[in-house]
Amino acid sequence: MPFIANTAEQQKQMLADIGLTMKDLFGDIPPELMCDSFALPQGLTEQQVRNVLADLAGKNSINLTLFLGGGFYDHFIPAAVYSIVSRSEFYTAYTPYQPELSQGTLQAIYEYQSLVCRLTEMEAANASLYDGGTAMYEAMMMALRITGKNKVIIDDSVNPIYRVMIHSYTSNLNIELIETHCGNGLVDRKQVLTKLDDQTAAVIVQNPNFFGCIDDFTDIADAAHKKGVLLIVSCYPISLGILKTPGSMGADIVIGEGQCLGMPMSFGGPYLGFMSTKMKYIRKMPGRIVGQTTDRNDRRAFVMTLQAREQHIRREKATSNICSNEALCALTAHVYLSLLGKQGLRETAHLCADKASYAYKRLTAIPSVKPHFKAKWFFNEFVLDLPTEAADVIAKLIEKGFAAGFPLGRYYDNMKNSILICVTEKRTKQQIGMLAEALESVL
């Protein structure tokens, strides 16, 4: 049994035995980040703690009318979603390693995978990934494994949060990342085709892109495939109720953020990254994959078909260390999509698109507000140019009860006066009108 140093003297003796001091243990921490002690307040009773936390929570602005998107969306969630996923057999379930005891969970995961395949028009899906950003990274690494190449082209119309994550994950890897600049809100074909070569593993694009603009990447897929390059498409699942699917465009790997499928915004998570691909690439896909089979009595059964993690396969053949059980978030998306059905998803998508179109016309009627892009089609987000810095306008609109949008100057140098506004099915005509009046008064 290992020795545990419980007292300061024991700790000091143990360090002396190995020729170290406490200072040596923390030697890598810069001096400016070190502190001699923590100025902790006196302990509180349970009731006092509750009061303090309630006061802190009361300072949050939780009653704002949301016109904020940028990858995370305020959609209506039917009450039945929470009622189903909060059942104890789902809510506390661990990874279903023993199929004989986990048929319900495995069936739910299998059905989730089937829904993702139908939604994206692909052949196989996993269950699942942490969020949209890590899903994009995993898709990129999957493309590198498939092609054996190390060059990746990513357009700057892809969610900038995801691109920051990509650069962070790959900073110490031998990967050549090339960013192209979108023209007029859409992927600049000339730039992408010029940079495509025999060393390129993948092209990463997004539809609708971060600015809400709608594109068709069929031509890019054709050009990429001629050079042995894979096309990775990030998509917004609600939009697939009415838009052309990534699969029908020729995508090889499809990923995205599943938060809009029944998950509340929750200050940033937990969320859901989904991934689907062609069947021929399934053994290169990370995460868990549940399959349907029959038992020895010829009864339908569900099993973990593939799970290429280090714990389950030789390290050199492992695809990823995705190991948290994301099944509850996947189940939430499954329940949400099942409750809406095909027609419900289509109606929700139409509402988002139509209400955004109305808001676009209403806001651009303000004399000093102009559309930033000339792209003809957008889904539920669009970019407007204001006569002053967008971040300042957004701050003033918060005081009037509106989270009016995302200041694009945070990620794009030439867009400090540009604001990304999002409209979901939850926003009413009255709310859109009140935002227009508030914006006009602020300007």
**Higher confidence at residue 91 or residue 64?**
64
- The string over 164-178, giving b where at least 16 C-beta atoms fall within 10 Å of a residue's C-beta and e elsewhere, is ebbeebbeeeebebe
Q: Is the pLDDT of residue 47 over 90?
A: yes
pLDDT at 426: 97
Confidence bin at 40 (pLDDT 50/70/90): confident
**Strand ranges across the sheet with 273-277:** 124-125, 273-277, 253-257, 230-235, 200-207, 151-155, 176-180
Architecture of domain 79-336: 3-Layer(aba) Sandwich (3.40)
At residue 312, the pLDDT reads 63
Pairing label, strands 273-277, 253-257: antiparallel
CB 249 within 8 A of CB 120: no
DSSP letter for each residue of 84-96: HHTSHHHHT----
In the block, which residue shows the tokens 């493309």?
143
Q: How far is CA 108 from the centre of its chain?
A: 22
- DSSP alpha helix (H) spans, 172-240: 189-195, 218-226
Q: Residue with structure tokens 């509106």? A: 402
pLDDT in tens, 17-31: 898 888 888 888 998
Q: Is 248 helix (H, G, I), strand (E, B) or coil?
A: helix
Query: How confident is the model at residue 1, as a pLDDT?
Result: 47
Convert the pLDDT of each residue in 177-227 to its tens digit.
999 999 889 999 999 999 999 999 999 999 999 999 999 999 999 999 999
Whether 373 contacts 346, CB under 8 Å: no
Compute how many other C-beta atoms are within 10 angstroms of the C-beta atom of residue 88: 7
Element housing 32 (H / E): none
pLDDT tens-digit map of 322-374: 766 678 999 999 999 999 999 999 999 999 999 999 999 999 999 999 999 98
Which CATH number describes the domain made up of 65-74+342-442?
3.90.1150.10
Is pLDDT at 316 greater than 80 in this prediction? no
Q: Which pTM was predicted?
A: 0.88
CA dihedral 66, 72, 75, 80 (to 10 degrees): -130
In this predicted structure, what is the pLDDT of residue 428? 97
Q: Are 416 and 427 in contact (CB under 8 A)?
A: no
The arithmetic mean of pLDDT across residues 417-442, rounded, is: 97
For the chain, what is the mean pLDDT? 92
* Short-list 320, 322, 324, CA closest to 142: 320
Could you state, in order of their start, the residue ranges of all structural domains in the chain? 65-74+342-442, 79-336
- Catalogue the E-assigned strands of 219-338: 230-235, 253-257, 273-277, 288-294, 300-307
Looking at residues 249-264, what average pLDDT do you find? 97
pLDDT of amino acid 425: 98
- pLDDT at residue 132 in the model: 95
In the block, residue with structure tokens 């140098």: 413
